[in-house]
Structure 1
């Protein structure tokens, strides 16, 4: 039998981690129903909507609501408490029978709500992690984060370039290099180019109708490319949820905008909109110079490689996407790419500081 009617858990969840989820599950098991209140300050760099969505996905059996709370915390100041309580009660107006926290303020919160106060693992023995620790070192706390949070925090690196310039080989080599680090890095993901799979299916379908058809007989329309871009995004998201703090992609939905220009001509606003839905952090542009063209049955654009390289470069520059160009032999390209990724990871995640607290 449940001990309490309506329970409440509140916090910043900036970002949510295993300790938060243990708190929510404990409260859920002791209450007939549970509300989780996510409070975010305007200065913080993870949007409130994202935190609410992450908590709802992880805890589909509780009610999750969000509120903006721009008042700093001072547990000794009644006026500050009054300001916070105005936010809390506006977001959760119904009666609360028990509040569950891992913090000392839980007793006062319960008193003000006329509810029981339940402390859960206040010493963080079961899950020795905090929001501060995650913000300071996400990679070090990676196994204490749920898949949607890992997907949001993973540094995404895209290798792109004209046909037969070594993008697949390089993306796979980079993933292998970081997997060799071990630990959480052993799960470093590689996302293949969906456009190639799509092309193989188009050629196979054509050959069912016309045995002996060749790649040059395949045609693309502008409607093909939003499908390719969305599938590429979906596969990237799946890999980021299961992977390490860095993810390597063999092209991406932004690259699809250039391939659209190559095969259908001009720009497609829908493909560009799809390309902008997912945040990525570094693009590695493989130069065609010095790389022999290999016709693998799905390529016919050797003479277009200089144009494609220029179009990728122009598009990356026009849209403000950070990129570097890779030239020289394969070992030099891998070394340059690895140095760039190491520099990206060394910059950290740059979370905005939360509002200061006085205790």
Structure 2
């Protein structure tokens, strides 16, 4: 089975851009890497709307199925999944007050090798169709953090812009593989004391912290 890396986060948190960047870097290192795109977006594009409450579970299961199928292919070293059922469970709770998808989504996430949660330091950008507001993004982030921490599932928060964000993710993947995958010298990755937001579920707090410290290239590992 391939190493499975999932990227979590609400809308406009850079999941897709990071997923594509990671695939490019990993392939350049000689690792056969496959990208699993966000099924929810594909579904919305096909249907011209967001899923209704009774359609959410099927969308979540298809995201999991596509990722599992790719990971089982012979010769694939790494699978980078642009979201997971947890994101759909968060949307289901937010829009429909439906908490029923969390259990199955968390059970699937528990089998994932590496969970990367996108930080809230990127500016929210409207896309004219799918994205609602920064408030929705923050609410999804808070719900995902809450459930990951309550379930005792380890995750790492990824911050920064462009190459900085990619390097953080590459270091996390490299730790799983026991090799250095970064393209630049690591910064502030050893000897750190945990910062106060490591276990914080308040997205506004994290946003304020990283808005002020982004230029110093701080990184954060979240361990529930």
Scaled by the length of structure 1, the TM-score of the pair is 0.46
* Alignment partner of 2:77 out of 225, 241, 245: 245
Q: Deviations over 1:214-246 (max 9, x none)?
A: xxxx46433211111111122112211235222
Q: Deviations over 1:48-79 (max 9, x none)?
A: xxxxxxxxxxxxxxxxxxxxxxxxxxxxxxxx
Q: Deviations over 1:58-112 (max 9, x none)?
A: xxxxxxxxxxxxxxxxxxxxxxxxxxxxxxxxxxxxxxxxxxxxxxxxxxxxxxx
1:231 aligns with 2:62: yes
Superposed, which structure 2 residues align to 1:23-42 within 5 Å?
none
Higher relative contact order (CA 8 A, sep 6+): 2
Shift in CA distance, 176/237, structure 1 to aligned 2, threshold 3 Å? same
Alpha-carbon offset, residue 296 of structure 1: 4.1
CA–CA distance in structure 2, aligned partners of residues 174 and 251 of structure 1: 14
Structure 1 match to 2:153: 321
Superposed, which structure 2 residues align to 1:190-209 within 5 Å?
190-203=35-48
Structure 2 match to 1:179: 27
Alpha-carbon offset, residue 277 of structure 1: 4.1
Alpha-carbon offset, residue 275 of structure 1: 4.9
CA–CA distance in structure 2, aligned partners of residues 344 and 297 of structure 1: 37
Structure 1 match to 2:112: 280
Q: Is the 8 A contact 2:13 2:120 kept in 1?
A: yes
Alpha-carbon offset, residue 272 of structure 1: 2.8
**Total equivalences in the alignment:** 177
Structure 2 match to 1:3: none
Alpha-carbon offset, residue 274 of structure 1: 5.2
Shift in CA distance, 166/240, structure 1 to aligned 2, threshold 3 Å? same
Question: SS of 1:164's equivalent?
Answer: coil
* Alignment partner of 1:188 out of 23, 29, 33: 33
Q: Is the 8 A contact 1:281 1:322 kept in 2?
A: no
Structure 2 match to 1:64: none
CA–CA distance in structure 2, aligned partners of residues 229 and 292 of structure 1: 24
Alpha-carbon offset, residue 285 of structure 1: 0.9
Structure 2 match to 1:136: none
Unaligned runs of at least 5 residues, structure 1: 1-152, 204-217, 348-359
Larger strand percent: 1
Q: Is the 8 A contact 1:220 1:264 kept in 2?
A: no
Alpha-carbon offset, residue 294 of structure 1: 2.9
Shift in CA distance, 233/244, structure 1 to aligned 2, threshold 3 Å? same
Alpha-carbon offset, residue 289 of structure 1: 2.2
CA–CA distance in structure 2, aligned partners of residues 219 and 154 of structure 1: 31
228-237 or 259-268, which moves further after superposition? 259-268
Shift in CA distance, 274/159, structure 1 to aligned 2, threshold 3 Å? closer
Question: SS of 1:251's equivalent?
Answer: coil
Q: Deviations over 1:292-318 (max 9, x none)?
A: 423242211332222222212112111
Structure 2 match to 1:342: 174
CA–CA distance in structure 2, aligned partners of residues 246 and 180 of structure 1: 13
Structure 1 match to 2:202: none
Q: Is the 8 A contact 2:7 2:83 kept in 1?
A: yes
Q: Is the 8 A contact 1:222 1:268 kept in 2?
A: no
CA–CA distance in structure 1, aligned partners of residues 66 and 7 of structure 2: 15
Large movers: runs of 4+ above 4 Å = none
Scaled by the length of structure 2, the TM-score of the pair is 0.72
